[in-house]
Amino acid sequence: MSVAIPAEDPRHIPNRAVVNPAAITHNTRAVRGLLGEQTALMAIVKADGYGHGMLTAARAALEGGATWLGAAHPASALALARAGFDVPIFTWLYEPVTAAAVLPEIIAAGVDVSVGSERMLRMVSDASRAVDGRARVHVKIDSGMGRNGVIPSAVAGLGSAIREDDHVQLVAAWTHLSSVDDPEDPETDRQVETFDRSCAILAEETGPVPLQHLANSAATISRPDLHRDIVRPGIALYGYPPLPMPEGVRLRPALSITSHLALVKDVPAGTHVGYGHTWTTPEDTRLGLVPIGYADGLHRAASGEVGLVVRTRTGDQIARQVGRISMDQIVLDLGPESKAQSGDLVIVLGDPSAAVLDEGTVPTAEDWARAAGTIPYEVLTSVSSRVSREARA
């Protein structure tokens, strides 16, 4: 038997993830501005809206011009449908054990579902029959990513099975690009060629394929020729374009993480900080303790690399995180002149324009990612359930 832990009171939690829905709306509108009239925008809100809260992200993206929603897991797609979003919802990642329970529900709810093998088609078809429905399916072509989807040599077989099946209706063909964040990589054109060839084979079996989609954020930004009928941006909507946006278009990071200084102390030169004593004060200085650590989602691999903003009585300052990131806490070198006190607000991550100083700005998910040797996607989706979340402009 599992016992639910009572919800914690956000007033008791020092670390906050504040989501700005207006930034997601702004970013969606900016991305929408890159598209022709005939192309629709499917906002990707998987992984709890890249850590921003799925329903908050979906609502904000629809406000900015998205007309589709996409989530990897059927359970998320069902939650979107139940929340009453009156737009097509698409989901693509399931396995037989949980699919038996969830597919009938999502098909009854009108959610579009991906099919990448004849086995998946049978699962969808059985579920459709069980609810006396007709599933809207998107055929996933594995054009070179080597993950989900049907390989080109098996497309005709899948196409003829779709044609023969009254419980499914072909809505689209789609694929996912592995390397489009590197505009020089010839793999993108190879994948597009494979996708187009597969779509032609599919159409020979099924008749015209109504819709095509293959562009993530990077392709949406850099390859207008790949926009086709629908684009599927995710990360750009949250303010982190993987490639530069056109001149004059700025996206805004939508997530900030704040905390407060728990303890401030003046220490002499030669003071060791943290596990393994990886950092030692080079001079007399003021240290600040922040009650946030890797259990909240900071990456330990980023230890000692990132400057955080501390909002002191006399103004903002940047203070570098020093020593190892612990499970629950980090230490900042505030410097000998600092006026910081315990209780002062600390901006751990956010929109750089929230504090612009001579020494730097508010660190972004990009800064944390670079320091940890990872990508902003991982930083954003790592914020743990111990952090209290709120949506606020």
Ligand X SMILES: Cc1ncc(COP(=O)(O)O)c(C=O)c1O
Enzyme catalytic residues: 46, 275
Q: Which CB atom, from 57 or from 330, has the smaller least distance to ligand X?
A: 57
Instruction: Identify the sign of the CA torsion 155, 160, 163, 168.
Output: negative
* Angle, helices 21-32/54-63, rounded to nearest 10 degrees: 50
Helix (H, G, I), strand (E, B) or coil at 246: coil
Q: Which residue has the tokens 């504040």?
A: 18
Q: Which DSSP letter does residue 224 get?
A: G
Question: Angle CA(32)–CA(38)–CA(43) in degrees, nearest 5?
Answer: 40
CB of 44 to ligand X, least distance (A): 4
Measured from the CB atom, the residue of 59 and 232 that comes closer to ligand X is 232
Summarize as ranges the residues that interact with ligand X (CB under 6 A).
44, 176, 216-217, 232-236
CB-nearer residue toward ligand X: 172 or 264: 172
- Token pair belonging to 215: 């562009």
Nearest distance, CB of residue 192 and ligand X, angstroms: 15
Structure token pair of residue 218 = 């990077």
The DSSP element (H or E) to which 368 belongs, if any, is helix 365-372
Residue 12, token pair as written in the block: 């008791």
Least Å from the CB of residue 175 to ligand X: 9
| Distance set, CA 299 to CA 280, 296, 367, 374, 382 (Å) | 21, 9, 12, 9, 8
Minimum CB separation of residue 176 from ligand X in Å reads 5
> Coil, strand or helix: which one is 119?
helix
* Nearest approach, Cβ of residue 201 and ligand X (Å): 21
